[in-house]
Structure 1
């Protein structure tokens, strides 16, 4: 399986830390020290998880003028911040593309949805039920966020990304998906209450951030090591590590445990905040133009409810 291209969409509005200083007295330096976040994007009026999914798809196709969208025969969307739980982001993208009678799937495994979506594509490809799949990850965190929450209200940003996977390469520069590993750790720690989103109550809350931090550092490191070992790679052979963009200190901790040069870790949380399951895909879009033959890239993610995964990509 190959990744032909990836593109991102970010809302125009920028919310700096000073907004939260004025709102609830949180100092910008305090936010930066604890999270690494300096600013984040916020969806505008009329924008939501569905519209951003479509916008990311438009961005992807705009960069692929020679690709016929009619070849897409599978759409998988991931989000935990849906605009509509029935007419999902996947349906919105299918309607925009005007491709009828193809599998259209929406999933949520919190911030690890990206890699579970990729696994779904692997399954369809293996069963020969599809050969050109569009994966979209989109989060409208600010629709659910309580900004006055001093524990987590300043963490969240909005954004989306679209990825085109194919069973066979379409161009010499396509990235080969060497392996995807995922798992769930719901029995561990405070997985049932550390991060929750109950729309009828208070939206996104994170009362046990320390537990999230500890579990994320443990599982993102472990799954990355497992992936390297399974593919006979050393950490020094890794060109880029793209960790889930939840907290800059988590990224630094994982990098340190792996023994990886911090310069090889891709981070955008300082500019975008926590964009949920879209964050790592946005990071991949950001480094896409810099990838060279022989590069090895690992995307490693961790989600609330405690799910995790890692994907190894290679540029031939």
Structure 2
């Protein structure tokens, strides 16, 4: 029986930093309004010509360096993104070429803000079945390219960035404890696809479209689904909320995150937040926050780490990792 263990994390952010005060100069809003409603103070925005693959490659290289391996050692790349470089081929194959990986497989996964948890689940499943030994899972977005900069309800929320983790297979006896990904849990409900979407696409309008959101409905579903997915992961492993060392949630909105924490009776000190500096980076948000918490020493070997996300679709899911 194989289990996937995280052996390296990496992150990449565009150089351009945009504060709420800067946005308030061109949009009908205020610095205080954005902060109070979302918890966001600033975000990074990709520069002209800076692609999703550029951020993904930088995050991947950082993760590989920390894992002490090279791209040629990889069997698999799963890249979660809503903003690929091109309609095809997959952005993952651009990353594959840049890293010098010539074997195995590389492909994209699209589940919007839940994308990293979905990609992690796919890679974990392939490692568990013995198909792959070493995998790179990336969340990367240039999400600001999808924004309507006249819509203050959405354009102030998002940012760009990338995060990555390297997984390696370890052999464990069935039923044994130990480090690694303990379980992943994925869900979707297409009845709510019109609550968060883009108003375009290659087969409908021929353009990528712009983000549209029913904020009240998304908030309601986010709280319920994130709390349920977290509880599901704990129940599947016979664990209680008190045993969690760290929660690394999708960084969408501080009020959503705090309400989910209250429902799970988790103290704020156990929740990793980068929302104030990164905004909502969609599929990149969890691996960006994860990389930061590992890098600064908060997440340590043996810690129980819960990942929790929800995105358009609606999609949602969770993963439980013994670090």
TM class by shorter-chain length?
Answer: over 0.9
CA distance in 2, matches of 1:262, 1:305: 28
Alpha-carbon deviation of 1:118?
A: 1.4
Taking the aligned partners of 1:192 and 1:120, their CA distance within structure 2 comes to 22
CA distance in 2, matches of 1:122, 1:57: 17
In structure 1, the residue matched to 2:175 is none
Contact (CA 8 Å) 1:4, 1:175: kept in 2 or not?
Answer: no
Match of 1:50 in 2: 53
For 2:138, what is the secondary structure of its paired residue? strand
5+ long unaligned stretches in structure 2: 172-177
Of 117-126 and 225-234, the range deviating more from structure 2: 117-126
Structure 1 pair 120/207, CA: closer, same or farther in 2 (3 Å)? closer
Correspondent of 1:118 among 114, 117, 120: 120
8 A Cα contact 1:151 1:206, kept in partner: no
In the alignment, does 2:187 pair up with 1:179? Answer: no
Query: Aligned partners of 1:166 and 1:63: how far apart in 2?
Result: 13
SS at match of 2:210: strand
What's the counterpart of residue 98 of structure 2? 96
Question: How does 1:193-208 map onto structure 2 within 5 Å?
Answer: 193-197=194-198, 198=200, 200=205, 203-208=209-214
Q: Deviations over 1:45-83 (max 9, x none)?
A: 22111111111112223334x324322011111101112
| Residues 179 and 227, structure 1, Cα contact 8 Å, conserved in 2 | yes
| Residue pair 1:146, 1:203 contacting (<8 A) in 2 also | no
**Relative to structure 1, is the Cα distance of residues 116 and 232 closer, same or farther in structure 2, using a 3 angstrom cutoff?**
same
User: In structure 1, which of residues 260, 272, 297 is the aligned counterpart of residue 305 of structure 2?
Assistant: 297
| Stretches of 4+ aligned residues off by more than 4 angstroms | 199-202
CA distance in 1, matches of 2:166, 2:258: 30
Match of 1:254 in 2: 260
Give runs of aligned pairs for residues 279-298 of structure 1, distance below 5 A.
279-288=285-294, 289-298=297-306
RMSD: 1.7
CA distance in 2, matches of 1:128, 1:163: 19
Contact 1:20–1:154 (8 Å) recurs in 2 = yes
How many residue pairs are counted as aligned between the two chains?
307
Q: How far apart are 1:104 and its partner, in Å?
A: 1.2
Alignment of 1:12 onto 2:15: yes
Native 8 Å contact 1:146 1:202 kept in 2: no
The whole-number CA distance in structure 2 between the counterparts of 1:67 and 1:100 is 15
1: CA distance between counterparts of 2:161 and 2:129?
32
Q: Does 1:149 align with 2:155?
A: no
Q: How far apart in 1 are the matches of 2:213 and 2:233?
A: 31
Mean alpha-carbon deviation: is it higher for 259-268 or for 55-64?
55-64
Which of the residues 20, 27, 33 maps onto 1:30? 33
Deviations 1:234-277 (A, max 9, x none): 11111111111111111011001111001111111111110001
For residue 63 of structure 1, the aligned residue among 57, 66, 70 is 66
CA distance in 2, matches of 1:214, 1:95: 42
Gaps of 5+ in 1: none
Q: Distance in 2 between matches of 1:72 and 1:202?
A: 32
- 1:179: Cα distance to partner? 0.8
